């Protein structure tokens, strides 16, 4: 397997836009895979869930099982690829707290070379969610601040456990293009 | 073993009060165990210490040995339990620095499902310690701030290493009841 | 092998000065080793690099190989020592992001007893770099703030993975002597 780049970021930070833009600008042609989508597909194959929203309601053991299987299936698909881009989360906030999106068993399978955090200030993220038509529940700036802290702490632990680079790309208001170019720098390295 | 919930928090944050209140309100009847007390008991059985205060003066190898043994004995006791609540620390401040309360060998034995941090602002914790009759040494607000940072960073690393949820419960002034109810939500899930 | 103390800190924080002063004051006579220098020596022996600056341009696999070999060679040299002081970094900022200086394989070899962070405020570090005759590129205070956060997060993860103490020594302006004395306290414990 070639270079594995994992891209994480809080919902509302604009991760998808930065990734799409980066893929347009990139000269490499990485395989792109969404970790959550892969988990949903595997769960549907096993008749465990119908929709993505149900993923968090799987029992812990089943969830871990699907999470590990998803990592393995990504590694399998990527075997002949030069470059793989995994779209996922370092921390997933749900009613039970912050769930690590890249726990030990996922890291041991994916063996990422770089973990990219797409980041912005808590205030910027708050405003983006508020103006989002999808009408998501809007967390307070303080809550987003805590979420960002936990996300980066978990991503730092992931880096120590794998030796991966931790790359923080700032996606400030009006700077999505620049953020995309920075991500291209990582993908095309 | 059933669900393992580890509860951590800085001295002075009011962790014991929140736990006691939560246990009164909870419909579950979890086995409750204090990790430090278990370590003291095991050390006393082996004639290593007389009192809890001496625990930190055990040599590093002996300390780790007792720490590992305590985790194993908790797991043994909890084998037939549906729910276990472990009262401990993510970081223990002593003259040599911050000692991780949940190092790798403890995590590998306990395999927590959820790590709960009972938290408050550094200023609130400072004031609570200051007004405490037990007359503990009062750290400055800056020192408590650093302690909180290290505690959460270590707890985040613990979550990545085990896949456990990290749940931060705010125990702000006058909100102990609400904090207890949040903890009940974790215990009774 | 005796007590292993790893000392880390951002470039510009004054780590070398604090270490030199501490070694003059210390009653112990620890073996002192610079992890990066050891990596350079091993790379030169293998004709991989001429100068230290080229270390970061080794391919990832070769870099890890050298990093692991360096840890092993330090452990070998230190076998009969009572005390070893390893000068290194918890996070190394390079164009690809923050590289963990103490990844899993280094930690598993070195098994540090204490990880010391020599720290100062981001503003102090900024000013020190700016007034430095070596004319290094000066990062903004915000960039240094982020670097400090990532460094401490990675060091906290290292502590959890090894059970090592994390000791943060403040090297504020005009307090180098005091910082050195605190480090002596760790070395001579």
pLDDT tens by residue, C53-105: 888 888 888 999 999 999 999 999 989 999 999 999 999 999 899 999 999 99
Structure letter (DSSP) for residue C13: S
In a domain, B129, yes or no: yes
Asked whether this complex has an ipTM greater than 0.90, the answer is yes
State which residues form the domain around B119: 3-34+81-187
Q: How far is C5 from chain B (nearest CA, A)?
A: 11
Q: How far is C57 from chain A (nearest CA, A)?
A: 12
In a domain, C57, yes or no: no
- Average of per-residue pLDDT across B91-117: 95
Across chain B, mean pLDDT equals: 94
What local confidence, expressed as pLDDT, does residue C138 receive?
81
Chain C: partners with 3+ C-beta pairs within 8 Å: A, B
Q: Which tens digits make up the pLDDT trace of B43-86?
A: 999 999 998 888 888 888 899 999 999 999 999 998 999 999 99
User: pLDDT band at B39, cuts 50/70/90?
Assistant: very high
User: pLDDT band at A60, cuts 50/70/90?
Assistant: confident
In a domain, A180, yes or no: yes
Chain C nearest-CA residue for A187: C96
Task: Give the A:C interface size as CB pairs under 8 Å.
Answer: 67
Residue B8, strand partner residues = B117
What local confidence, expressed as pLDDT, does residue A104 receive?
96
Nearest CA to B41 among B62, B27, B60, B55? B55
What local confidence, expressed as pLDDT, does residue C32 receive?
97
Chain C contacts to B (CB-CB under 8 A): 113-114, 116, 152-153, 156-157, 159-168, 185-186, 189
Q: How far is A91 from chain B (nearest CA, A)?
A: 9
Above 80 in pLDDT, residue C19? yes
Are the C-beta atoms of B188 and A183 separated by less than 8 Å?
Answer: no
Kindly report the pTM of this predicted structure.
0.96
Chain C contact set for B99 (CB, 8 A): 163, 165
Above 80 in pLDDT, residue C175? yes
| Count of other CB atoms within 10 angstroms of residue B28 | 14
- Average of per-residue pLDDT across B8-30: 95
In a domain, A42, yes or no: no
Chain B nearest-CA residue for A90: B160
Which of A38-52, C109-123, C131-145 is the least confident region? Answer: C131-145
| Count of other CB atoms within 10 angstroms of residue A41 | 14
Q: How far is C104 from chain B (nearest CA, A)?
A: 12
Q: Which tens digits make up the pLDDT trace of C106-128?
A: 999 999 999 999 999 999 999 99
Chain C contacts to A (CB-CB under 8 A): 60, 64, 91, 94-100, 102-105, 107, 146, 149-150, 153-154, 156-158, 160-161
Residue that wins the pLDDT comparison between A120 and A134:
A120
- Average of per-residue pLDDT across C143-171: 98
Above 90 in pLDDT, residue A81? yes
In a domain, B50, yes or no: no
For chain A, helix (H) and strand (E) counts, in that order, are 7, 7
What local confidence, expressed as pLDDT, does residue B140 receive?
94
In a domain, C42, yes or no: no
Q: Which tens digits make up the pLDDT trace of B42-52?
A: 999 999 999 88
- Average of per-residue pLDDT across A17-31: 95
Above 90 in pLDDT, residue C2? no
In a domain, C51, yes or no: no
What local confidence, expressed as pLDDT, does residue C61 receive?
87
- Average of per-residue pLDDT across A13-19: 96
Does A100 sit within 8 Å of B160, measured CB to CB?
yes
Across chain C, mean pLDDT equals: 94
Residue pointed to by tokens 């769930």: A99
What local confidence, expressed as pLDDT, does residue C124 receive?
97
- Average of per-residue pLDDT across C133-152: 88
Structurally, chain C folds into a number of domains equal to: 1
- Average of per-residue pLDDT across B105-114: 96
Q: Which tens digits make up the pLDDT trace of A141-175?
A: 999 999 999 999 999 999 999 999 999 999 999 99
Type and span of the H or E element at B94: strand B91-94
User: pLDDT band at B136, cuts 50/70/90?
Assistant: low
Chain A contacts to C (CB-CB under 8 A): 113-114, 116, 152-153, 156-157, 159-168, 185-186, 189
Chain B contacts to C (CB-CB under 8 A): 60, 64, 91, 94-100, 102-105, 107, 146, 149-150, 153-154, 156-158, 160-161
What local confidence, expressed as pLDDT, does residue C52 receive?
87
Task: Give the A:B interface size as CB pairs under 8 Å.
Answer: 67
In a domain, A161, yes or no: yes
What local confidence, expressed as pLDDT, does residue B27 receive?
93
C144 exposure class (CB count in 10 Å sphere: 0-12, 13-18, 19+): buried
What local confidence, expressed as pLDDT, does residue B2 receive?
85
Are the C-beta atoms of C180 and C130 separated by less than 8 Å?
Answer: no
CATH number, domain containing residue C120 = 3.40.50.300
Phi first, then psi: give them for residue B76, nearest 5 degrees.
-65, -50
What local confidence, expressed as pLDDT, does residue C135 receive?
61
């Amino acid at each position: 397997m070639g270079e594995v780049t994992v891209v994480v970021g809080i919902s509302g930070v604009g991760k998808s836009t930065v990734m799409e833009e980066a893929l347009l600008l990139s000269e490499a042609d990485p395989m792109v895979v969404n970790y959550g989508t892969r988990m949903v597909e595997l769960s549907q194959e096993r008749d465990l869930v119908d929709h993505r929203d149900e993923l968090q309601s799987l029992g812990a053991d089943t969830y871990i099982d699907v999470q590990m299987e998803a990592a393995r299936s990504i590694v399998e698909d990527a075997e002949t690829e030069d470059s793989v881009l995994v779209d996922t989360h370092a921390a997933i906030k749900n009613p039970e707290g912050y769930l690590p999106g890249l726990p030990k068993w996922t890291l041991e399978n994916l063996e990422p070379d770089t973990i990219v955090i797409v980041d912005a200030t808590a205030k910027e993220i708050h405003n983006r969610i508020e103006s989002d038509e999808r009408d998501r529940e809007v967390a307070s700036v303080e809550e987003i601040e805590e979420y960002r802290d936990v996300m980066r702490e978990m991503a730092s632990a992931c880096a120590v456990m794998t030796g991966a680079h931790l790359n923080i790309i700032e996606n400030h208001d009006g700077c999505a293009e620049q953020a995309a170019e920075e991500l291209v720098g990582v993908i095309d390295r």
